[in-house]
Amino acid sequence: MQFKKTKTFTNLARSFAGESQAGMRYQLIAKLATAEEYAVLADTIRTVAKNETYHAKTFYNTLIQKAGNSENIDLNAGYPFRFGTLVENLGFAADDERAEFEEVYPAFAREAREEGFEDVAALFERVAGVEKEHNILFTFLRDALKDGALYKRDKPTLWICSECGYRATTKEAWKVCPLCSAKQGFVEIPLPFDN
């Protein structure tokens, strides 16, 4: 079977488009976080945006490797176009990542395997694993920001100023760094993976 006539070919193209768009959407969310003076949160979101861009690159490279150049690939697919408050945007991102790891990439992996492309199936599964971690991250950040707990914990936690390195173990991060006077938005956020 000619690769360009497979579902896997189209799914790789859809994945490239989706990951490219996710990377850009997350850049826009990071910009909003910066505007709201959450510098470390913005950096965290930019890191996820970079991850999405690398996923897109990997899908693109796989597509080119297996199919060569294509003038145009028609895609019949839906992509989200939503934007709201910072909390809403983190929720949208969590939902999008959940859909990718629970539905989209498992279906694409199954189809690739059925068409005999085990290597592409494994690629979709590896990316789905990362998207699951992104979902956990965005869900945590959304909930913490919504509940006013981004810089509060139930037990003493190590807080580090990303500007000067000042450290303190307390239940709540300082509003202004006692060493360099950086605002709270520059405090590194302990993430759910850090425990």
Phi-psi region of 111 (alpha: psi -120 to 50; beta: other; left: phi over 0): alpha
The band of 119, judged by pLDDT with boundaries at 50, 70 and 90, is very high
Instruction: Judge whether residue 195 has pLDDT over 60.
Output: no
**97, 156: one domain:** no
pLDDT of residue 68: 81
CATH number at residue 157: 2.20.28.10
pLDDT of residue 193: 65
**pLDDT tens track for 124-176:** 999 999 999 999 999 999 999 999 999 999 999 999 999 999 999 999 999 99
The percentage of residues in the chain with a pLDDT greater than 70, rounded to a whole number, is: 98
**77, 170: one domain:** no
pLDDT of residue 120: 97
CATH number at residue 97: 1.20.1260.10
**137, 161: one domain:** no
pLDDT of residue 153: 93
**92, 159: one domain:** no
Instruction: Judge whether residue 76 has pLDDT over 80.
Output: no
Q: What range defines the domain where residue 188 resides? A: 152-194
Q: Let me know how long the chain is.
A: 195
**28, 45: one domain:** yes
Count of domains in the chain?
A: 2
Instruction: Judge whether residue 121 has pLDDT over 70.
Output: yes
**135, 170: one domain:** no
pLDDT of residue 70: 76
pLDDT of residue 171: 96
The percentage of residues in the chain with a pLDDT greater than 90, rounded to a whole number, is: 86
**179, 139: one domain:** no
**95, 137: one domain:** yes
* Direct distance between the N- and C-terminal alpha carbons of the chain, in angstroms, rounded to an integer: 48
Mean local confidence (pLDDT), 30-39:
97
**134, 84: one domain:** yes
Q: Which amino acid is at 9?
A: F
**161, 66: one domain:** no
Q: Which amino acid is at 148?
A: G
**123, 106: one domain:** yes
pLDDT of residue 1: 61
Mean local confidence (pLDDT), 6-20:
95
User: Mean pLDDT across the chain, nearest whole number?
Assistant: 93
pLDDT of residue 194: 58
**For the whole model, what pTM was predicted?**
0.91
Q: What's 138-195 look like in SS3?
A: HHHHHHHHHCCCCCEEEEEEEEEECCCCCEEEEEECCCECCCCCCEHHHECCCCHHHC
The band of 81, judged by pLDDT with boundaries at 50, 70 and 90, is confident
**136, 169: one domain:** no
In 82-117, alpha helices (H): 86-99, 105-114
**pLDDT tens track for 40-55:** 999 999 999 999 999 9
